[in-house]
Structures are given as C-alpha cells and as structure tokens.
Amino acid sequence: MNILAPSLLAVDFNNIERDVKLLEQSGVEWLHLDVMDGCFVPNISFGPPVISSLRKISKQFFDVHLMIMDPIRYIETFKKVGADSITVHYEACEDLNKTIKAIRDAGVKVGVSISPETPVCVLEPYIDLVDLVLIMSVRPGFGGQEFMPEAFERVRTVRTWAKKYNSSLHIEVDGGIRLENVGQVLQAGANVIVTGSAVFNGDIMRNVQAFKNILEA
C-alpha cells in the first residue's frame, strides 16, 4: 500500500488545526513530523509540546522524524506525546542498535534514515530490525529543496534488501517530491511519500487528491 505523509514543516502554523483537519477529511492517514535541533541540522523546527498539542486534535499516524543528535535521550518523551513511529538518523546515533532497541521497547514503530552523503550500504545490517527506512532526497534541515535524482538508485537498493530480509518494510522518501516526479519515486520502490509544499501550497484537498490519484493507480 502506498502512503502519503504530508510534512508539517510546510503547514500554515497560524491555521495548523484547520489544515490538519483538512488532511483528515481528505483521507490522509499519516502526518510526517520533522523535529530539528539546530545541531544535527542547521535549522530548528518544533518539539514535544507541539506534537502533544497535535495529538489532541488528530487521530492520524504520527511519523516522527528526529533530526537530532543522540536521539536515544528523547525516545520516551516522544512516545509519551503521541509518536506512532520514530525515525532516527544513522549519522546521529552513537549506538544505532541500542537506539533501535530503545524505540522498540517504547512500543512504537522503528525507522532509520540516512542523509544523501552517507553510503546506502550502511543500512543493510538493519533492514530486518526496523519497520521503515527513510531515504532523504535532499540534504536534511530545510524544506523547499530540489529532489536529488541519485535517490532513485538508493531506493531501488533498499527495496532489493527488503525483498530479501524484510518484506513488510516501509520505504519512505522525503525531499523535493512533487506531482511531476512522485510516479518515478514509487516505481523505484518507495511506498511512503513525504511532501510538504506540494500539499500545503494552494488547495490542500485538491492537492491531496492529485497525489492519491497517482499513489492509488
């Protein structure tokens, strides 16, 4: 099943409740929540208080992407405020196996991500330990960047490993995805699509339907 996971980095924060409810009415089941600490990435976004507030107004699946150093310190915190899945970066973990175990022990789904400059081969030992692999198709930290086409081959590689080690693995792609290229991302082997401005700019419900038409084709 293909899944659309709009990134709330691009939401109108003055009208966040309105826009989240529009997504729900459009049939969007996942929300992608990017947490940035200003250290692992140069930007700062939002943290547990915002996610806790969102949890009060939404029953959607909270796909929390931690772009923070030493994320193991905050696993329980994000679980308590409503995360359904927690994705950490390979590059940000001193001990990735320990971090994966901490997420699993917290009772939420486990994801691991790599930045574009990290060789995709580092992920292979973890494919059977996680529920989701997130391939960044832009450099993490800011929205609105152009899709990096080298991500296609990285997705194809992970899909090959998934067939071998973990057939239920979600393969998520985040960065620069628009209606014009989402079909290629799906063909490469991804099944979870993260996009921000392409959903939130303009008519949200119309944008969601346009993506769903492709994801469901």
Write out the catalytic residue numbers. Answer: 34, 174
The span from the CA of 140 to the CA of 42, in Å, is 9
Q: Which one-letter DSSP state was computed for residue 24?
A: H
Edge-to-edge strand list for the sheet holding 170-174: 3-6, 192-195, 170-174, 132-136, 109-114, 85-89, 61-67, 30-36
Contact 171, 154 (CB under 8 A): no
Give the Cα separation of 86 and 181 in Å (integer): 26
Tokens 């939002």 correspond to: 46
Confirm if 48 and 68 have CB atoms less than 8 A apart.
no
**CA atoms within 13 A of residue 168's CA, in its CB half-sphere:** 6
The SS3 assignment for 111 reads strand
Q: What share of the chain is helix, strand, coil (3-state, %, to 5)?
A: 45, 20, 35
